[in-house]
Structure 1
Amino acid sequence: MEYLLSVIQYFVDLGASVMLPIVIFVVALCLGQKPGKALKSGISIGIGFIGIGLVIGLMLNNLAPAASAMAKHFGLSMSVVDIGWPGSSPMTWASNIALIAIPTAIVVNIIMLVLKLTRVVNIDIWNIWHYAFTGALLHIATGSFLIGMIGIVIHAALSYKFGDWFSPIVEDYFGLEGVAIPHGTSAYLGPIAVPIDCLLNKIPVIKDIDINTDKIEKKFGVVGDPAIMGGILGVIIGILAGYDVKGILTLGMQMAAVMILMPQVVKHIMTGLLPVSEAAKKMLEKRFKGGNFYIGLDPALLLGDPTVVTASLIFIPLTIVIAMIVPGNQILPFGDLATIGFFVAMAVGIHKGNLFRTLISGSVIMFVTIWISNQTIGLHTILAQNAGQLKDGVTKVASLDQGGSPITYILTQIFNTTNVMGLVVIAILYAFCLVFTYGWYKNKKKEMMIADGAYESTNN
């Protein structure tokens, strides 16, 4: 058993850009693809993820310092720094429960497929760290390894359902046919945007406001070009950060590059994925007649959309403003600001690219996320201590990604209640969003089947 865990740890330590191509290569061979074609798919996906890493690195290395400078420029005093998912994921993989999370999540996926409770076939092993984080904090909060495992199972099961529920959005808006996004902030925060979108549809005047990148480009001409918009937003952030002219212009050019490069690197992933996805769908549909299966992949795929990148840049200063009004907030948004697009990506799809609506639902999402992140500081800090990652006099850590997850918060509070009112409010709010989203998904599915002339009642 110890040898098996060491092998899994070695595999995880390879990182997503190496681990996922290996998984894709093996899966493609199992699906009957020729070795050469399978290898090409794996390498193409690896290139795409390396590209995404470089672009995210460009954002992280330049936007995070700008955000910090912005906070200092406006005299904000928040004592706990958001270390972001780049800081949270390694300490999660270092926890006692993390390696068991991978086989557990795979078993949950298989059981749900067999019982026809999901159509998502998850091959994104790396992002299982989100489930492992929930399990690790539950283990710390309760001292029970079993309860930690229960947390992993619940989070995994919910994630696969998110993949099902948002598959129409991923396919219709993002154009990723046969793909599901069951992981991370994109998935678990998506349900918050659904009732907000339906509410906005009922408000006169507001319901007719539609601001999207295509309309901006048509109305404002060259100013609406994604590269120029990125440049303008970068300049604005540089000004708010108090940079000099050189710093402002440099940040503007860097963000213009992000707007252009991100869709390009995502294309490499799709080039490698599509042949494997089609082969998987054919095999699964043959084995499980009447099924329409989706390949579960990283939410980074959604960052190729121009509106997602635009919203991401807008939410950098906006999230800092929101942090100022969250009651009792101690956290300075930092590490996750560069990848804030993950938080609002699904909302963009739900709102069909409407930037106006995304700003509304995204603000609610970030408010809730920051508040929850404050509640998990204690457990998060212990996780960091156990991983030996509290250094240079740092006494507390937090993260928005996963540290601000409603799923993690609700489960830790159920098994180790420290804030009854907080548990009640977040649990009722999130349960309402989940039920509402399920009803919304059923209506979407019915509409799609009617459009295809093949509607029949289903209970999935």
Structure 2
Amino acid sequence: MQAALDTIRSFLDYGPNVALPVIMFLLCLVLGMRVGKAIGAGLMLGVAFTGIFVLFDFAFPVLGKAGQAMVQRIPGLKFEAYDMGWTVASVISWAWPYAFLMFPVQITINIVMLALGWTKCLNVDMWNVWHKATLGAFVSALVGQSLPGLALPLGFLVAGIWVVLELISADHTREQVYNLTRIPGIAVSHNMLLDIMWMAPVLDLIEKIPGLGKIKTSPADLRRRIGVFGENYVIGAILGLIFGLLAGYDFKGIATLMIQCAAIVTLFPLLAGLFARALAPVAEGAQEFMQKRFPGRSFYIGLDWPVLAGIDSLWVTGILIAPLILLFAILLPFNKTLPFASIIAVSLVATVTVLTQGDLVKSLLLSIIGIPVYLGAATYFAPYLTNLAVATGAIQVPEGFGMVTWLETNAAGMRLLVFTILDMLNGNIVAGLIALVILAFCVWYYFPAMKRRENAAAQQSGGISGNPLPYPEAAPKAAESASAD
């Protein structure tokens, strides 16, 4: 057994831009894909990782220098962690020696739940398996302090529970997603929507604010007014201007930083497209694999969040809260994260957009409540992500740079609750018990609340399958919600 593990670790030492394409090639063969297509998917994944590494080498010094200058110039400003976005977090997670094992974990759980009729979602979002790897690695690090023998098994257990929760979330948001996108046969199986579990009761309280339902704002109109300021490169340049002023740069330094930040914010999503291109054949292969084994069964496809990208209110909300995120980062005493690559906070705004069904005012209010949670999660998990990066050698963190983190830590609130509960194993009992009570309440509240909202969404759209009342038992509450809106 040890010899096998040593062989695996030796192979992974080649780095994710070499090792992962080979693993992806083998996975494609298991799914029955043609050899040529499998080779193409593996090579494209290697190209994507290599491109990301090149951008890392450019982005780290630029952001690190500005951040250090800000900290030295502004009294009381304590940015110790730098938001490098999901791309950095994913590369670090993929470098965890056991990350590739999350593929069979997710696929097996999905197949079992489909076979038992516990879900109708076939999750083909294979790229985001890395979220489960992050959980597994972080849980192992947390529990390893007191129970090293249970660290890895518990990491995989939590990751497995996360897979189940993603499928449950997809099942209970598909009508809401359809009402927003009008794309049939799909759901969003991304784990970002798990934060709806704590947001649902909060939104119900917000909706009780007198007169709120009468406020109507057109996201499309606002976006037309924003115009070019909604483009990534403009947002990056504005952030560079703000960072340069805070850092005390001269005109040349500010102008240079503006262009550099514009390039970073623009290029990260473009490189992310290469990952999507590499993994598209895997998603198709997984779908064909499942259809052969479940003939005649009704199911829908679980996809990544970009199926929501055409919703105007999502982008308008993200642009409007970006300066608020920076302001909160400066003012909140517990925050040590400098927002940058994730300043639009897509995971937060996409989640509130689905839950509020595109209502811009409610989305803004819920996002403002969510900002401290996301900044807190980014600060909390920064040591875990940085230690994992150093331990695996996934990326080289320059000396004196500080810590790397990710503002958009998907399902930030849920992750904080889970880790606070697990920290009871390290003796932190009181906080863990409080988190356990909060999580139990959120889970209890979630199912009736989501059935009500699914009914309300189906009544507006006519229903995915022509059924405007998918949950008849929640019909009275759905009717009340619809009349209130």
TM-score, normalised relative to structure 1: 0.71
Query: Contact 2:22–2:42 (CA<8 Å) still a contact in 1?
Result: yes
CA distance in 2, matches of 1:21, 1:179: 28
Cα distance in 1 for residues equivalent to 2:358 and 2:57: 25
Structure 1 counterpart of 2:126, which letter?
I
Give the CA deviation at 1:375: 7.0
Match of 2:426 in 1: 416
Q: Show CA shifts across 1:228-248 (max 9, x none).
A: 344334323332333322232
Question: Which aligned pairs between 1:379-394 and structure 2 lie closer than 5 A?
Answer: none
Residues 409 and 369 of structure 1: CA distance in aligned 2, closer, same or farther (over 3 Å): farther
Which residue pairs with 2:348 in the alignment? 344
2:297 maps to which residue? 290
Instruction: Assess if the C-alpha contact under 8 Å between 1:178 and 1:278 holds in 2.
Output: no
Q: Which residue of 1 aligns with 2:70?
A: 70
2:248 aligns with one of 242, 258, 264 = 242
Contact 1:231–1:253 at 8 Å: present in 2 too?
A: yes
Match of 2:370 in 1: 365
CA deviations on 1:329-363 (whole Å, 9 max, x unpaired) are 3x5214x7434536525436435677765554444
| Matched letter for residue 364 of structure 1 | I
Answering whether residue 401 of structure 2 is matched by residue 426 of structure 1, we say no
**What is the CA–CA distance in structure 2 between the aligned matches of 1:239 and 1:211, rounded to whole Å?**
34
Relative to structure 1, the CA distance from residue 176 to residue 237 in structure 2 (aligned partners, 3 Å threshold; closer, same or farther) is farther
Deviation at 1:165, TM superposition (A): 1.5
Segments of 5+ residues of structure 2 without an aligned counterpart are: 474-485
Structure 1: gaps spanning 5 or more residues: none
Corresponding residue for residue 464 of structure 2: 451
Distance 1:416 1:137 in 2: 12
Deviation at 1:5, TM superposition (A): 2.0
Residue 463 of structure 2 aligns to which amino acid in structure 1? I
1:142 alignment partner, SS class: coil
Contact 1:70 1:241 in 2 (8 A): yes
CA distance in 2, matches of 1:170, 1:9: 41
Provide the C-alpha distance between the structure 2 equivalents of 1:10 and 1:349, rounded to a whole number of angstroms.
44
* Deviation larger for 252-261 or 76-85: 76-85
Inter-CA distance 123–278: structure 2 relative to 1 (3 Å threshold): closer
Q: Which residue of 1 aligns with 2:482?
A: none
CA shift for structure 1 position 153: 1.0
SS at match of 1:450: coil
- Aligned residue among 162, 165, 169 for 1:165: 169
Whole-angstrom CA distance in 1 between matches of 2:206 and 2:382 = 34
**Corresponding letter in the other structure for 1:123:** M
Is the 2:337–2:379 Cα contact (8 Å) retained in structure 1? no
Distance of aligned partners of 1:269 and 1:79 in 2 relative to their CA distance in 1, 3 Å threshold? closer
- 1:123 aligned partner: 126
1:254 aligned to 2:260?
yes
Q: Relative to 1, partners in 2 of residues 1:19 and 1:387: Cα closer, same or farther, differing over 3 Å?
A: closer
TM-superposed CA distance for 1:260, in Å, is 4.4
- Aligned-partner Cα distance in 2 for 1:64–1:458: 55
Which amino acid is the alignment partner of residue 143 of structure 1? Answer: L
Corresponding residue for residue 277 of structure 1:
283
Q: Is the 8 A contact 1:22 1:42 kept in 2?
A: yes
Structure 1 pair 34–81 and aligned structure 2 pair: CA distance change class (3 A): closer
Distance in 2, matches of 1:383 and 1:277, equals: 28
Could you tell me the percent identity over the aligned residues?
24
Matched with 1:154 is 158
Q: Deviations over 1:17-74 (max 9, x none)?
A: 5555445443443444332233334444554555566667765553454344334433
- Secondary structure of 2:341's aligned partner: helix
CA distance in 2, matches of 1:355, 1:144: 47
- Change in Cα spacing, 1:170 to 1:274, as seen in structure 2 (3 Å) is farther
- From the superposition, tell whether residues 377 and 347 of structure 1 become closer, same or farther in structure 2 (CA, over 3 Å): closer
CA contact (8 A) 1:137 1:412 kept: no
**Counterpart of 1:40?**
40
Please say if 1:218 is aligned against 2:261: no
8 Å contact 1:67–1:317 — kept in the other structure? no
Q: Secondary structure at the match of 2:38?
A: helix
C-alpha distance in 2, partners of 1:383/1:265? 23
RMSD in angstroms over aligned alpha carbons?
Answer: 5.1
Number of residue pairs matched?
450
Task: Indicate if the aligned counterparts of 1:162 and 1:182 stay in contact, CA closer than 8 A.
Answer: yes
* Partner AA of 1:75 in structure 2: P
Report how far residue 130 of structure 1 moved: 1.7
Query: How far has the Cα of 1:287 moved from its partner?
Result: 1.5
| Larger Rg belongs to | 2
Q: Residues 66-215 of structure 1 correspond to what in structure 2 (within 5 A)? A: 66-78=66-78, 81=81, 108=109, 111-118=112-119, 119=121, 120=123, 123-124=126-127, 125-146=129-150, 149-166=153-170, 168=174, 180-182=188-190, 186=192, 189=195, 191-203=197-209, 206=212, 208=215, 210=217, 212=219, 214-215=220-221
The answer to whether the 8 A contact 1:173-1:349 is kept is: no
AA of the residue aligned to 1:290: R
Kindly provide the CA deviation profile for residues 184-226 of structure 1, in whole angstroms up to 9, marking residues without a partner as x: xx355454444445554554565536475x5444124445555
> For residues 295 and 359 of structure 1, what CA distance do their matches in structure 2 show?
27
Shift of the 451–17 alpha-carbon distance from structure 1 to 2, 3 Å rule, reads same
